[in-house]
C-alpha cells in the first residue's frame, strides 16, 4: 500500500507505476497494490487531472475508477510505502518504509516531492522519483516472495 496525503496525486501515481512494473516482472498475480491517504479531505475523488496527464504522457494507465480513501488502522499490509517522512510518522503503527528508500540514487531528503501546488513540471518530477524507486520495490517484493516460498517448502 502506497500512502500520501490525499490519495489523488502521489500515491495513485505510484500505485499505477508499481502495478505496471509488477506485471512486467511476472508478479501481477502474486502482488496486490493499492493506495490511500492520511487525510480524508479528498475522499471519493478521482486521480488528479494533472497526475493523469503526466501518466498518459509516459504511457501509463490513468487510474480510471480510482477513488481516494483515507488509511485506516486496520489496513494491515505486508509493505506500507510512505511518500514522505511526515506520512511515515502518521503511519507509525503500520510499520511504514519510505518509498524513495528503494531508489539507489536517492540521497539526503527521501520525500517524494509534492506536486499539488505546482505545475506540469512538478508532476513530471514526482513521477520520475516514483519510477526511480519502483524497480527497487519490485526486487524487494520478489525477494520477500522467494523467501516465503522457501520457508513454506523448505
Instruction: Provide the annotated active-site residues.
Output: 4, 10, 114
Contact (CB, 8 A) for 70 and 7: yes
Helix (H, G, I), strand (E, B) or coil at 25: coil
Dig out the grid coordinates for 90 from the structure. 502518521
Please give the C-alpha separations between residue 115 and each of 10, 125, 127, 153, in angstroms, as whole numbers: 8, 8, 9, 45
Contact (CB, 8 A) for 16 and 61: yes
Amino acid at each position: 500500500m502506497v500512502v500520501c496525503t490525499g490519495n489523488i496525486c502521489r500515491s495513485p501515481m505510484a500505485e499505477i507505476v508499481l502495478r505496471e512494473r509488477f506485471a512486467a516482472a511476472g508478479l501481477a498475480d502474486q502482488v496486490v497494490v493499492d493506495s490511500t491517504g492520511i487525510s480524508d479531505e479528498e475522499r471519493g475523488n478521482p486521480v488528479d487531472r494533472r497526475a493523469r496527464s503526466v501518466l498518459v504522457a509516459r504511457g501509463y494507465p490513468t487510474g480510471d475508477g480510482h477513488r481516494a480513501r483515507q488509511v485506516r488502522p486496520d489496513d494491515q499490509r505486508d509493505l506500507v510505502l510512505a511518500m514522505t517522512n511526515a506520512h511515515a510518522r502518521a503511519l507509525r503503527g503500520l510499520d511504514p518504509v519510505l518509498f524513495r528508500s528503494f531508489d539507489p540514487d536517492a540521497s539526503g531528503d527521501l520525500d517524494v516531492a509534492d506536486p499539488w501546488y505546482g505545475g506540469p513540471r512538478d508532476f513530471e518530477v514526482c513521477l520520475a522519483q516514483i519510477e526511480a524507486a519502483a524497480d527497487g520495490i519490485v526486487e524487494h517484493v520478489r525477494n520477500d516472495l522467494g523467501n516465503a516460498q522457501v520457508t513454506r517448502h523448505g
